[in-house]
Homo-oligomer: A and B are copies of this chain.
Amino acid sequence: MKLGRLNHVGVATPSIERSVATYRETMGAEVVRDPFDLPAQGVRVCFVDTPNSQIELIEPLGADSPIVKFLERNPEGGQHHVCFEVPDIEAAHTWFDGKGCRILGPTRIGAHGTPIFFLHPKDMGGVLTEIMESPKQAH
């Protein structure tokens, strides 16, 4: 397997609205996608485009959202995960399993509508790492 595109950096925030204002007004972001709920992951999501990648703003959706604890430790938000693309999620699952990586949860549909899973940060130098199948139309 080859290291794929850095699809996005996941940034947890207590308020997508406030973070979008920061990226627009302070950082000059011009392409901000419409926010949407991703109930399967317990988050509300909003993508901010850079010329080569994206920032994925994630806000807790519901009290048992998996990012509630992160925001308790980091009340203003912060870098939560990185996401790399793979051409085939099943092949990637077999690959990482064979490397002895702990795969978090089942393969499921992610924020870009393609299958994803997460690798445990303890197997990735402390970095929670999302593995995402590339959208077919984009490449």
Q: Pick from B22, B49, B82: contact of A79, CB below 8 A.
A: B82
Contact A26 B99 (CB under 8 A): yes
Contact B22 A3 (CB under 8 A): no
Kindly supply a per-residue 1/0 record for chain A positions 110-132, scoring 1 wherever the CB is within 8 Å of any chain B CB and 0 otherwise.
00000000000111111100000
Contact B127 A26 (CB under 8 A): no
- How many copies are assembled? 2
Contact A76 B122 (CB under 8 A): yes
Q: Which A81-129 residues have a C-beta within 8 angstroms of B?
A: 81-82, 84, 96, 99, 101, 121-127
- Minimum distance in angstroms from A117 CB to a CB of chain B: 14
When chains A and B are docked, how far (Å) is the Cα of A103 from the Cα of B3?
Answer: 33
When chains A and B are docked, how far (Å) is the Cα of A35 from the Cα of B132?
Answer: 28
- Minimum distance in angstroms from A73 CB to a CB of chain B: 10
Stretch with Cβ within 8 A of B (4 or more), from A36-44, A50-58, A60-68 = A50-58
